[in-house]
Structure 1
Amino acid sequence: MNNYTLATADRLTHLKIVVVSLIAGIIVVGVGIAARPELPDMSTRLEARAPILKADKPVTWTQADRVTIR
């Protein structure tokens, strides 16, 4: 049988393609998960040591030198 194109391939060839692509996908996902760096849980430390920021007076930014009256 001709297995040169996907249209003329037999059932076994289609099954091989599906299995190889599934294994390749699992490998890519596994490498991606393994390559992710483990970050320490910094949220509790940041909350305890973070500086307190307070809002200033509201500011209006314009491109003209006119005074905005509200």
Structure 2
Amino acid sequence: MNHSIYSADRTTHLKIVVVALIAGILVAGFGISARNSSDEGYTQTARVMKAGKPVVVTSSSNALVR
């Protein structure tokens, strides 16, 4: 048995490519099928927020060191 990918023959490389391709198709298929396709109550609406008066937030607990 050959344990190195560099010295493997052409059929071993082909097997690796085929297994990787099948695994990728399975993962993509599972991701597409797991997605929720119903739009019941999940609509997003844009809300406009208007800026109010400026607010200044300060804290007097900081010590001033000079």
TM category (shorter chain) comes to 0.5 to 0.7
**CA shift digits 1:6-33 (9 cap, x unpaired):** 1221011001101110110111011011
Number of positions where the alignment pairs a residue of Structure 1 with one of Structure 2: 59
- Give yes or no for contact 1:3–1:13 (8 Å, CA) kept in 2: no
Using structure 2 for the length normalisation, give the TM-score: 0.65
Assess, with a 3 A threshold, how the Cα gap between structure 1 residues 4 and 54 changes in structure 2: closer, same or farther: closer
* CA deviation vs aligned residue, 1:17-50 (integer Å, no higher than 9, x gap): 011101101110110111011252624xx36xx6
Q: Give the partner amino acid of 1:9.
A: A
CA RMSD of aligned residues (A): 2.6
TM-score (norm 1): 0.62
Corresponding residue for residue 33 of structure 1: 32
Task: Give the unaligned 5+ runs of structure 1.
Answer: 66-70
* Structure ranking higher in helix proportion: 1
Same amino acid, percent of matched pairs: 49
Question: Structure 2 regions of 5+ residues with no counterpart?
Answer: 62-66
